Amino acid sequence: ITAEDLAKETVKNIKETDKKINAWITVDEDAKPAENLDFNKNKLAGIPIAIKDNIITNGMKTTAASHILYNYMPVYDATVISKLKKAQATFVGKTNMDEFAMGSSTEHSYYGETHNPWNLDKVPGGSSGGSAAAVASGEVVAALGSDTGGSIRQPAAFNGIFGIKPTYGRVSRWGLIAFGSSLDQIGVMSKRVKDSAEVLNVIAGPDEHDATVSEQEVPDYTSFLGQDVKGLRVAVPKEYMDAVDGEMREVIQKQIDVLKDAGAIINEVSLPHTKYVVPTYYIVASSEASSNLQRYDGIRYGYRAKDTKNLLDVYVKSRSEGFGDEVKRRIMLGSFALSAGAYDEFFKKAAQVRTLICRDFEKIFEENDVIVGPTTTEPAFGIGEEISDPIKMYNNDILTISANLAGIPAASVPAGLVDGMPAGLQIMAKRFDEGNVFKVADFIERNN
């Protein structure tokens, strides 16, 4: 099969499969591979990759699943896109998500919800639910997602695929539509661990457009595959195990036993501030979001309300009509937490607790190489089941958001089935130690 045919076949298959799944917001009907493909040099040459719709693509509509950006046509590429273009990957379109990446179910999209390919009545997780479903349904081999509080790992777990959020500062955020700038990170999802390693090899590394990206050398992540785990020090937080019971606990424990039987040293540890991570995250993330989303004023981008009387009216009406309910909730929460009267009690407190959460991790990594545990407390829930209860939806994120607050790399790898739906094992490591995350994920994949 030629790369041209692969691009055509991929688009054809997406059109068919997506009638049920709705994983895509935009599909490029004329998708073509790059010219002069160099298969020896570029592992990704001619490989179709899905891009979450909050990553800017030159000449391809980018909406972040929001009405406020319904017609936004970028005039430049995000750095990750430029890097993938240089590596000659094929672009077939943009995937569905929760509006501005706020959510855990891909139900908060202006373009309708995405369905979980394992069971169409279940959510695919979120916010990168479109990317996860596109991979799980076999529409593409790999997809880019973004992860502010679990948006790559939780949908990866719900769809039985691998997903990695790299260290904060490993991958450029230039061209990623900002949500929580101190937490956001672009990462990769794929069925096979190796494919994510290949994509991360391409997108990681310095960028003159993003001062938060590290100059630290990017290792070849595939060099961590195929290794054993003998002597590896694996921490298991008791708060994470206490958060799961029944079949979920068994499935996770089984994977820990697999590591133990292979000679890894298992240490029970504690992340004592786990009970504060949800409120801490929702204050920090919403505060940053309320600031980042100020730019959508009906003037510079996308949607502008009609029949307005004056400038203020343009702002108010465009934002009222352009943003969905969940986004408005975050803007209100964030604006409140940053306001003069509430700052000390809310934003400042959250920033302080964040430091304590970081210290919990530092302490564990003094004596351990990786941390493992469940990615989520439950497998995928039903569409419509939690949408009307935001607090319940927020509490689901308890196991994923700490890694964002601490800036450490974290992944989810398939661990087995719970009630017939996939469950994920989460693997975390020290900052810039994606290598050990890949090592353990690949080991689990090979021994499943």
Enzyme catalytic residues: 52, 127, 151
C-alpha–C-alpha distance, residues 149 and 13, integer Å: 31
Give whichever of 18 and 147 is closer to ligand GLN, judged by the CB atom. Answer: 147
103 near ligand GLN, rule: CB under 6 A: yes
User: Which amino acid is it at 41?
Assistant: K
Binding segment (CB under 6 A) for ligand GLN, from list 96-104, 199-207, 220-228, 300-308: 96-104
Query: How many residues make contact with ligand GLN (CB under 6 A)?
Result: 13
95 near ligand GLN, rule: CB under 6 A: no
Give whichever of 48 and 149 is closer to ligand GLN, judged by the CB atom. Answer: 149
Among candidate residues 119, 113, 112, the one with its CA nearest the CA of residue 158: 119
Contact with ligand GLN (CB under 6 A) among 57, 62, 79, 104: 104
149 near ligand GLN, rule: CB under 6 A: yes
Contact with ligand GLN (CB under 6 A) among 77, 107, 397, 442: 397
User: Read out DSSP for 23-37?
Assistant: -EEEE-TT--PPSS-
Q: Smallest distance, Å, CB 179 to ligand GLN?
A: 6
C-alpha–C-alpha distance, residues 415 and 361, integer Å: 23
22 near ligand GLN, rule: CB under 6 A: no
Give whichever of 194 and 354 is closer to ligand GLN, judged by the CB atom. Answer: 354
Which single residue is written with the structure tokens 């008791």?
A: 238
C-alpha–C-alpha distance, residues 200 and 121, integer Å: 32
Strand partners, 235: 267, 371
Residues 6+ apart with CB under 8 A from 215: 206
Contact with ligand GLN (CB under 6 A) among 17, 90, 137, 148: 148
96 near ligand GLN, rule: CB under 6 A: no
C-alpha–C-alpha distance, residues 318 and 304, integer Å: 5
Give whichever of 101 and 350 is closer to ligand GLN, judged by the CB atom. Answer: 101
For residue 419 the two structure tokens come to 């009630």
Binding segment (CB under 6 A) for ligand GLN, from list 100-108, 136-144, 213-221, 268-276: 100-108
Dihedral Cα 339, 345, 346, 350, nearest 10 deg? 140
Dihedral Cα 122, 333, 409, 383, nearest 10 deg? 0
Q: Measure the CA angle with vertex 73, ends 71 and 75; round to 5°.
A: 160
Binding segment (CB under 6 A) for ligand GLN, from list 149-157, 214-222, 223-231, 346-354: 149-157
Contact with ligand GLN (CB under 6 A) among 124, 150, 334, 373: 150
287 near ligand GLN, rule: CB under 6 A: no
Contact with ligand GLN (CB under 6 A) among 102, 283, 418, 423: 102
Among candidate residues 294, 284, 373, 379, the one with its CA nearest the CA of residue 334: 284
203 near ligand GLN, rule: CB under 6 A: no
Q: Smallest distance, Å, CB 154 to ligand GLN?
A: 7
151 near ligand GLN, rule: CB under 6 A: yes
First to last CA, the chain: 31
Interface residue list for ligand GLN (CB under 6 A): 101-104, 127, 147-151, 179, 285, 397
